[in-house]
Amino acid sequence: MSPDLFFQYLFAGITYGSIYAIVAIGFNIIYNATGIINFAQGEFVMLGGMISISLLPHLPLPLAIAGAVAATMVIGALIEMVFIRWLESPSVLRMIIITIGISILLRESALHVWGESIRSLPYFFGNEITVLNLGSVHLSPQVLVVIAACAVMVAGLNVFFKGTPIGREMRACAANRTAALLCGISARNMVTLSFMLSAGIGALAGCVMSPITYTQYDSGTSLAIKGFTVAILGGLGNSMAAVSAGILLGVIEAFSVSVLPLAFQDAISITILLIILFVRPHGLFGSSEAARLKDF
C-alpha cells in the first residue's frame, strides 16, 4: 500500500470513527445516568440529519442545524418523560424491549414523514468536488468539519461534566443515585437531562455527517450497533475511552475495505463486538478488577 493511500484510508477511518465515538458517548451518558442502554440512540442521529434537511429551505444552514439539535433534544426529553420516567425500577429486559420499541416507532414515523428517499445537507464549505490538498492526501473540507465538530463536542462535554454545577450533579447521580438524592439533587431531572444531552449530540453528529454519508429513515440502526461496539470497546460508561475506541474501529473498518468486499464491512465491526464481548467485556481500557464487581 502506498503512503498516499494509507493516509487516505486513515483519514476516512478517523472521520467515521469520530462519528462512532459521538454515538458511543451518547450511549454512555444515558447508561451512566440510568443503567439503560438506549437502543434508540442511532435514531437521534437520523432525526438530527432529517430535521435539519427539512429546515434548510426556510433557514440559513447554522440556524437549521441549531433548530434540528433543539428539536431532537425536545424529542429526547419527551421520550424519557413519556416512556421511562414513571417506571419504578424496571427490569433490564423490560427496558431493552421498550427502547427497541421506541427506536422502531421513531424509524417508522421518519419513514412516514420523510419517505424512503435518501437525502443530505449540502456541503458546509464548497461542494462535492472541493478538495483540500494536504501534501499528497486529498480531503473534502467536510471531513475536517466532522472531525472538528466531534472534537469540540468531546471537549465541551468534558468541560460541562467537570466544570459546571449541573454537570457535576449529573456525575453525582451516575456515581451514586441515593447519595445524590440525599444531597438534594433531583435524580429524575438529571435522567431527563441526560436524554436531552445525548439526543443533542447525536443530532449534531447527524447534521455534520449528513453531506458525506447521507441520511435515510433507517440509517440509525447500523450506527447504533457501531456506536455500541465502540462503547463496549472503550468500556461501558467511560466516555473519554470511547473516543480512542471509536477512532480505532473507524480505522480498522476503513482498512478492511482494502482486503474484504464492502458488503462485509458491517460484519467486521460486529465480529469485533462479539470477540470483545467474549474476551474482554469490560473493554480495552477498563480495569478487569473493577469489572468483576459488575454484572455482564
Partner 1 sequence: MRTRNTLALGGLCLLVACIHLLTALTGSQYYLTQLTMSAYYGLVIIGLGTLMGYAGQISIGHAGFFAIGGYLAAALTTRNLEPFLTSPPVRWLEALGMLRAGQDLYGARLITVEPWAACCLAVAAAALIALVIGIPVLKLKGHYLAMATLGFGTIIYRVLLASPYFGEADGISEVPGFPLLPAMGSLGPVVVSGDPGHRVMNYYLACGLLIVGAGLLLNLIESRVGRALRALHSSEEAAEASGVDTARFKLKVFILSAVYAALAGVLLTHFNGGIGPSEASVMKSVRYVALVAVGGMTNLWGTLLMGVGLTFLSLRGVFGTYDDAVFGMILIGVMLFAPGGILSLRHLLRGLLAGARS
Provide the binding-site residues for partner 1, judged by CB under 8 A.
Answer: 37, 83, 87, 91-94, 96-98, 100-105, 107-109, 112, 221, 225, 228, 232, 261, 263-264, 266-267, 270-271, 273-274, 277-278, 281, 295-296
Q: How many angstroms separate the CA atoms of 140 and 90, rounded? A: 46
Q: Which is nearer to partner 1, 95 or 153 (CB)?
A: 95
Closest CA to 8 of 208, 263, 248, 254: 254
Backbone angles phi, psi at 37, to 5 degrees: -95, 120
Structural Rg of the chain based on CA atoms = 19
Q: Which is nearer to partner 1, 1 or 279 (CB)?
A: 279
> Min. distance of Cβ 256 from partner 1 in angstroms?
13
Tell the smallest beta-carbon distance from residue 73 to partner 1 (Å).
21
Is 92 or 159 the residue whose CB approaches partner 1 more closely? 92
User: Which residue bears the cell 458511543?
Assistant: 24
User: Residue 135: is it exposed, middle or buried by C-beta count within 10 angstroms (0-12/13-18/19+)?
Assistant: exposed
Please say which residue, 105 or 172, places its beta carbon nearer to partner 1: 105
Provide, rounded to whole angstroms, the least separation between the CB of residue 205 and partner 1: 20
Q: What burial letters (b/e) apply to 201-230, b meaning 16+ CB within 10 Å?
A: bbbbbbbbbbbbbebbbebbbebbbbbbbb
Calpha distance 239→218 (Å, rounded): 26
Q: Of 91 and 133, which CB lies nearer to partner 1 in the complex structure?
A: 91
Q: Minimum CB separation from partner 1 for residue 89, in Å?
A: 12
Shortest Cβ 100–partner 1 spacing (Å): 6
